[in-house]
Amino acid sequence: MQADIVSSTMLIFCVCALLVSVCQSLPIVGWIQSPGYPHGYGSDISETWKRCAPPGHVLSLRLLHLDLEESYECENDVLKISEDHNLLANLCGRMTLEELQSSVNPSLRSSSGGCLSLTFQSDYSNTERHAGFKAFYTTQDVDECWENDVVCSHFCHNYIGGYSCSCKPGYYLDEDQHECRANCTEERYGAGVLKPPGSPGPYFENADCLFSLSVDEGNQLELKFTGVFDVESRDGRCVDFLKIKTDTETFGPFCGKNRPADILTAAQHVKVIFHSDLEGTNQGFSLEYKPKGMECSGKVTPDSTVSPVRDRYQVGETVTVRCVTGYVLIDSTETFTSTCQLNGRWSPIYSCEPVNCGHPELPDLMDLTEDNPQTLYEHTISVKCSSEYYKLDGNANFTCDATGEWVAENRQTFSQHTPQCVPVCGITTESARKRIFGGENATLGQIPWQLLVKEPHRGGASLINDRWAITAAHVVENQRSLIFAGGMVNARAKEKVEMQTEKIIIHPGYKKPNFDNDIALVKMSSRVPLSENLIPVCLPEKKTNGPTMEGKMGTVSGFGATDKRIKSPFLQYGHVKEYPGFCFQSNLKVTDNMFCAGDADGGVDSCKGDSGGPLVIPLLGFGSLNTPYRLKGIVSWGPPVCGNRDYKGYYTKVENYLDWIREMMEKN
């Protein structure tokens, strides 16, 4: 009895399952009509119907009757048909079946597995009775194989509710169930001939083949292409290709019609990779492979040479390895020895690494032009000064040499001939062309090398670089330290740069009461902050054979007296020229270390308080990058009365002391 019940249950289950399967394959059909059809619909009706097609099917709607109130843009009574948010039809008025069939029904079709929505609305009143609408819907199977968005590599098969792809013999269907790929992954051992799938004849399209070849230990694979070689290429590029790989080397890719040369792989295991695209009728290749006694290649490690030199080495042979120029072994040894092994590899193997010059130690005020430049062999670096008030003295560009040094084009090394950033001299941002006694007030930036010392006696000096100033010996004699001020034109100005002195060096030939060798150097205790208002003056390039001022007008400046007694709070300047012979009659001895200068009318002259200050050429306002201002004289001594047309002032001849100046600055 129990067995009969089980059998009956199973029978009912099977029938139900069969009915479900049959039902799913049958089309869905039905009618939709407006309320009251065909006797007329009422007022203020709003009703929506939604019908959907199962997967692999479309829903098709056919209007058989349409009789609604006519209105502008169907704003009164309306039948709207849409798929999702896409409106397919907006209908009202009366249309015959022929009109519906020709203009409306063809568009009432859903997408595969999509839904159609019908919305019927009537307004508050109708002046006459309208029957409404009636529609018939049904589902239809979609033939996906004819749809544009369905692509099967080889064959497409439609069935009710879907489709499937299949492949030609020798191919398999990829995971995407659409693309067909050649079935060509193999492992082979020993000797044989390798051809692409489809050979003889055009090889298969869409192939990604991997052939793994192996031989016994102590042997290597020898490869030889025979017969026709025809792998598709286009405009010199490989469309299809053949590539051969070992653990240490890759041969190819090969394509075109030129047969590749024989390959001795020096490997026990080799992978042959073949790729083709989706088209072409090329014939392919024939590759013979066979074992041969193992040898090692003539290359042990990159960037090295071996001795003795041969293309191939037998198992057990030993070579000496040396890194090429610019590369070194990690342990700093020059060479190592390596032996050819049964597997065709060398042992031991050490890497030759490129020489690393490292980042150079830069002097003050210097930067690299790049933030993080490469520092390996044959890479280059460039240096620059970090301030516009300095210029580079020396080489700017260096290359990492095999010695580990940064070397310039002239073979000078960075470490031995380190470039320096030296102050720009003799260049002003301001210039004037006006006619110190009888002079004019200077403006900021016109005479940026002018310095002032107030105590214990007022005097002047000239900045000659960012650590040193030059002045008259009698201004700084008997002083251990002084404070100089610069970067201003008003002696009372609060905004000025004060410089504490570290060392005062008076010329050893200076002795009172004579003013011969009236020159001194002053070293500041720290680097002077250069700016457009504080820039050094250039020293003379060399000693002249003719007139000290080279026949040019010059400019003298200072904070000294502007008449017979009053000292100026403002920096004054005036233009003077050199006079041969004596300036005035005096008991003091005039030497070749002095020269006389002044104004022809006596209206411009240096005076008390100007001592130690500069006399420069060219005339203020005529300096340039090619003609910087150079210090020709230092205000030294003069007549008891300033500004007398019959008397001129004496200046220390700076060009006579160039060697002494350089020597003192180098030693101190």
Rounded to the nearest integer, the mean pLDDT of the chain is: 88
pLDDT band with cut points at 50, 70 and 90 for residue 439 = low
Whole-angstrom distance between the N-terminal and C-terminal Cα of the chain?
Answer: 125
How much is the pLDDT for 12? 37
Across the range 236-244, mean pLDDT stands at: 94
**C-alpha torsion sign, points 212, 217, 220, 223:** negative
**What residues contact 198, with CB distance under 8 A and at least 6 apart?**
170, 182, 204, 284
232 is in an annotated binding site: yes
pLDDT band with cut points at 50, 70 and 90 for residue 569 = confident
282 & 198 share domain: yes
* Closest of 636, 483, 610, 484 to residue 558, by C-alpha: 610
Distance CA 90, CA 119 (A): 10
28/76: higher pLDDT: 76
How much is the pLDDT for 357? 96
407 is in an annotated binding site: no
Choosing from 230, 401, 518, 599, which is the catalytic residue? Answer: 518
455/230: higher pLDDT: 230
192 is in an annotated binding site: no
The answer on pLDDT for 25 being more than 50 is no
Instruction: Tell me how crowded residue 221 is: count the other CB atoms within 10 A of its CB.
Output: 26
pLDDT band with cut points at 50, 70 and 90 for residue 641 = low
590 & 663 share domain: yes
- Return the SS3 of 11: helix
CATH number at residue 515: 2.40.10.10
461 & 546 share domain: yes
532 CB-contact burial (10 Å; exposed 0-12 / middle 13-18 / buried 19+): middle
508 & 637 share domain: yes
Instruction: Tell me how crowded residue 256 is: count the other CB atoms within 10 A of its CB.
Output: 17
Beta bridge partners, 30, equal 137
Distance CA 238, CA 568 (A): 87
Q: pLDDT tens for residues 271-300?
A: 999 999 888 889 999 999 999 999 888 999
Q: pLDDT tens for residues 135-178?
A: 999 998 888 787 666 788 888 888 887 888 998 888 888 888 88
Across the range 98-121, mean pLDDT stands at: 92
Q: Mind giving me the DSSP string for 209-255?
A: EEEEEE--TTEEEEEEE-S--BB-EETTEESSEEEEE-SS-EEEEE-
Choosing from 117, 338, 611, 636, which is the catalytic residue? Answer: 611
Instruction: Identify the domain boundary among 293, 309, 336.
Output: 293
CATH number at residue 40: 2.60.120.290
218 & 133 share domain: no
How much is the pLDDT for 457? 83
486 & 599 share domain: yes
547 & 533 share domain: yes
How much is the pLDDT for 170? 80
Q: Mind giving me the DSSP string for 79-133?
A: EEEEETTEEEEEE-SEE-HHHIIIIIGGG-BPPTT-EEEEEEE--S--SS---EE
Q: pLDDT tens for residues 467-519?
A: 999 999 999 998 989 999 999 999 888 889 999 999 999 999 998 888 999 99
Range of the domain at 265: 184-293
Q: pLDDT tens for residues 510-551?
A: 988 889 999 999 999 999 999 999 999 999 999 988 899 998
**Preceding amide of 55 cis, omega within 30:** no
The answer on pLDDT for 5 being more than 60 is no
Enumerate helices (H) and strands (E) in the chain, giving the number of each. Answer: 4, 50
* Furthest-apart CA atoms within the chain: distance in Å: 158
Choose the weakest-confidence range: 121-130, 405-414, 435-444: 435-444
- What residue type is 16 in one-letter code? C
Distance CA 70, CA 6 (A): 65
The answer on pLDDT for 433 being more than 90 is no
Q: Using alpha carbons only, what angle is made at residue 337 by residues 335 and 343, rounded to the nearest 5 degrees?
A: 140
Choosing from 130, 474, 507, 575, which is the catalytic residue? Answer: 474
pLDDT band with cut points at 50, 70 and 90 for residue 646 = low
pLDDT band with cut points at 50, 70 and 90 for residue 263 = very high
**C-alpha torsion sign, points 253, 257, 261, 262:** positive
- What residue type is 400 in one-letter code? C
Does the annotation count 474 as an active-site position? yes
pLDDT band with cut points at 50, 70 and 90 for residue 396 = very high
Q: Mind giving me the DSSP string for 471-496?
A: E-HHHHTT-S--EEEES-SBTT-SS-
Distance CA 539, CA 616 (A): 10
Across the range 319-339, mean pLDDT stands at: 94
Q: Mind giving me the DSSP string for 396-428?
A: -EEEE-TTSSEE-TTS-BTTTS--EEEE--S--
Distance CA 268, CA 283 (A): 29
Instruction: Provide the domain count of the chain.
Output: 6
3-state secondary structure 245-298: ECCCCEEEEECECCCCCCEECCCCEEEEEEECCCCCCCCECCEEEEEEECEEEC
Task: Kindly list the distances between the CA atom of residue 344 and the CA atoms of 262, 317, 468, in Å, as whole numbers in the listed order.
Answer: 18, 11, 71
**114 in a domain, yes or no?**
yes
pLDDT band with cut points at 50, 70 and 90 for residue 126 = confident
How much is the pLDDT for 138? 93
pLDDT band with cut points at 50, 70 and 90 for residue 323 = very high
- What residue type is 230 in one-letter code? D
**17 in a domain, yes or no?**
no
Phi, psi of 533 (to 5 degrees): -100, 0
277 is in an annotated binding site: yes
How much is the pLDDT for 431? 42
**57 in a domain, yes or no?**
yes
498 is in an annotated binding site: no
374 & 342 share domain: no
Q: Mind giving me the DSSP string for 428-439?
A: -S-------BT-
The answer on pLDDT for 553 being more than 60 is yes
Phi, psi of 118 (to 5 degrees): -115, 130
pLDDT band with cut points at 50, 70 and 90 for residue 16 = very low
CATH number at residue 151: 2.10.25.10
**523 in a domain, yes or no?**
yes
Percent of residues, the chain, with pLDDT higher than 90: 64
Q: pLDDT tens for residues 622-636?
A: 998 899 999 999 999
**18 in a domain, yes or no?**
no
How much is the pLDDT for 13? 34
Strands 155-159 and 335-340: unpaired
The answer on pLDDT for 8 being more than 50 is no
579 is in an annotated binding site: no
Task: Kindly list the distances between the CA atom of residue 162 and the CA atoms of 21, 58, 150, 435, in Å, as whole numbers in the listed order.
Answer: 14, 12, 11, 104
- Tokens 């004054």: give the residue: 572
The answer on pLDDT for 53 being more than 80 is yes
**431 in a domain, yes or no?**
no
Instruction: Identify the domain boundary among 273, 293, 313.
Output: 293
CATH number at residue 412: 2.10.70.10
444 & 536 share domain: yes
- Tokens 């205790």: give the residue: 525
Across the range 100-104, mean pLDDT stands at: 92
Cβ-contact 380, 398 below 8 angstroms: yes
> Cα 120 to the chain's mean position, in Å?
64
How much is the pLDDT for 344? 84
How much is the pLDDT for 14? 36
Strands 366-368 and 554-558: unpaired
162 is in an annotated binding site: yes
Cβ-contact 294, 268 below 8 angstroms: yes
**229 in a domain, yes or no?**
yes
216 & 107 share domain: no
The answer on pLDDT for 610 being more than 50 is yes
How much is the pLDDT for 544? 87
**127 in a domain, yes or no?**
yes
Query: In residues, how long is the chain?
Result: 668
321 & 340 share domain: yes
Instruction: Identify the domain boundary among 354, 380, 402.
Output: 354
123 is in an annotated binding site: yes
Q: pLDDT tens for residues 578-592?
A: 998 778 777 888 899
The answer on pLDDT for 318 being more than 70 is yes
What does the DSSP 8-state code read for residue 667? H
166/56: higher pLDDT: 166
77 is in an annotated binding site: yes
312 & 447 share domain: no
